[in-house]
Amino acid sequence: MAQLTLEKLNKRYGDAAQVIKAIDLQVNSGEFVVIVGPSGCGKSTLLRMIAGLEDISGGNMYIDGTRVNDDTPSERGIGMVFQSYALYPHMSVYENMAFGLQLAKLPKDEIARRVEQSARILQLEPLLQRRPKDLSGGQRQRVAIGRAIAREPKLFLFDEPLSNLDAALRVQMRMEIAALHRRLKSTIIYVTHDQVEAMTLAQRIVVLNRGNVEQVGTPLELYDHPANEFVAQFIGSPKMNLLPGTLVSSGDTESVVRLWHGKQLTVPIATPASAEGTKVKLGIRPEHIEWGTVADAPYLADVLFVEHMGNETYHYLDSGKLGEPWVVRNSRRSDIAAGETVGYSLPPEHCHLFDESGKAFARRAVGNGASCLPGMDAPPITFAEPARTNVMH
């Protein structure tokens, strides 16, 4: 178990643009941290810098308080698992797991003890004499993890370890990695572009974008309180809907937004007076949009298309000239079809608000006190199914 501290860490490949930009991060001893972000944002570069496989262009890196910028990978005491498994094809599973320990000149019986223990943890014992080509993808990945465990590292680094596996195996391996962390209580830094993997595995998630840390927090902190539009749309699937509007009235406890179509909505979010009159975006997650009757609902929309997931249904609503459709997630089956018109409402307590630069205005926790929408007779209402009309408006 080790604590890792990154202090203004920078990376530039030759004369190219900076890839990692002054990253500050502390990973606590025994913590499972997932670094997530879109392709090319610098995840692998950051992980390889931590491993000692890439030079650090600027800043400092500490393991348990000791500066390790110039230490070799083996001096850092790190075990790394790669997406490609990186197994030696001509060696057996046992030899693959023992090889690094032999290079480190450990005594033979110590090597045997460690390999056997790792094999037991990962249920690899029956496979120890096989070659990698005689293993399934999941088994190969388990060998790669076993090889890292056998090194008894202070810190585990995983670089997209499940990317080459099929969906069912990914779920199984995810559970195995989570169980492994509970058992070993080791410090793990895990890179993925898959936000479901991040949400399910992480104690804390680091959202990386273009070499910058956008936000660090527990999965639910990021989901419920995204710091900006990028995090709001990156975490959660389908992604959060963003509706353009103007802030017409600010306040310490609530604010009024005029949405793009002229209707106003009061949300329990504090905004400064200086923001009045500026453009904002109202964010709402697909599961928080509520269906109402066409007659009473504050908003109407045409259904563009429907996705039936079996346990839930996604309706994509026409957002008109705004471009991308809104997504509504219904936790039950629905026979509402494309081309129908539905009524919906936006419960203020579930709304997020972002300023012109994309930064979130802080939300306060609210109970059931959803405020009425100005200009409406009644607060938002909910029905299990949207009332429908076949008349297009």
Ligand X SMILES: Nc1ncnc2c1ncn2[C@@H]1O[C@H](COP(=O)(O)OP(=O)(O)OP(=O)(O)O)[C@@H](O)[C@H]1O
Counting Cα atoms < 13 Å in the Cβ hemisphere of 242 gives: 21
Q: Which of 82, 48, 47 is nearest to 161 (CA)?
A: 82
Alpha-carbon span 178 to 172, nearest angstrom: 10
Identify which of residues 43 and 170 has a Cβ nearer to ligand X in the complex: 43
Alpha-carbon span 215 to 205, nearest angstrom: 8
Identify which of residues 211 and 286 has a Cβ nearer to ligand X in the complex: 211
Please name the residue that has the structure tokens 């790792």: 118
Amino acid at residue number 205: I
Please name the residue that has the structure tokens 């995983």: 158
Identify which of residues 193 and 285 has a Cβ nearer to ligand X in the complex: 193
Identify which of residues 13 and 305 has a Cβ nearer to ligand X in the complex: 13
Establish if 272 lies at the interface with ligand X (CB under 6 A). no
Peptide bond preceding 238 in cis form (omega within 30 of 0)? yes
What pairs with residue 85 in β-bridges?
Answer: none
Q: How far apart are the first and last CA of the chain?
A: 62
Please name the residue that has the structure tokens 């391996």: 173
- Range in contact with ligand X (rule: CB under 6 A) among 12-20, 247-255, 289-297, 361-369: 12-20
* The only residue of 76, 193, 315, 363 in contact with ligand X, by rule CB under 6 A: 193
Please name the residue that has the structure tokens 């670094």: 35
Answer whether 199's CB lies under 8 Å from 226's CB: no
Give min distance, CB of 59 to ligand X, in A. Answer: 16
Give min distance, CB of 51 to ligand X, in A. Answer: 12
Residues 23-62 that bind ligand X (CB under 6 A): 37, 39-45
Give min distance, CB of 4 to ligand X, in A. Answer: 18
Identify which of residues 28 and 212 has a Cβ nearer to ligand X in the complex: 212
Give min distance, CB of 158 to ligand X, in A. Answer: 13
Identify which of residues 57 and 293 has a Cβ nearer to ligand X in the complex: 57
Establish if 19 lies at the interface with ligand X (CB under 6 A). yes
Alpha-carbon span 228 to 7, nearest angstrom: 23
Give min distance, CB of 171 to ligand X, in A. Answer: 20
Answer whether 48's CB lies under 8 Å from 98's CB: no
Give min distance, CB of 42 to ligand X, in A. Answer: 4
Give min distance, CB of 72 to ligand X, in A. Answer: 19
Establish if 16 lies at the interface with ligand X (CB under 6 A). yes
Task: List residues near ligand X by CB under 6 A.
Answer: 13, 16, 19, 37, 39-45, 193
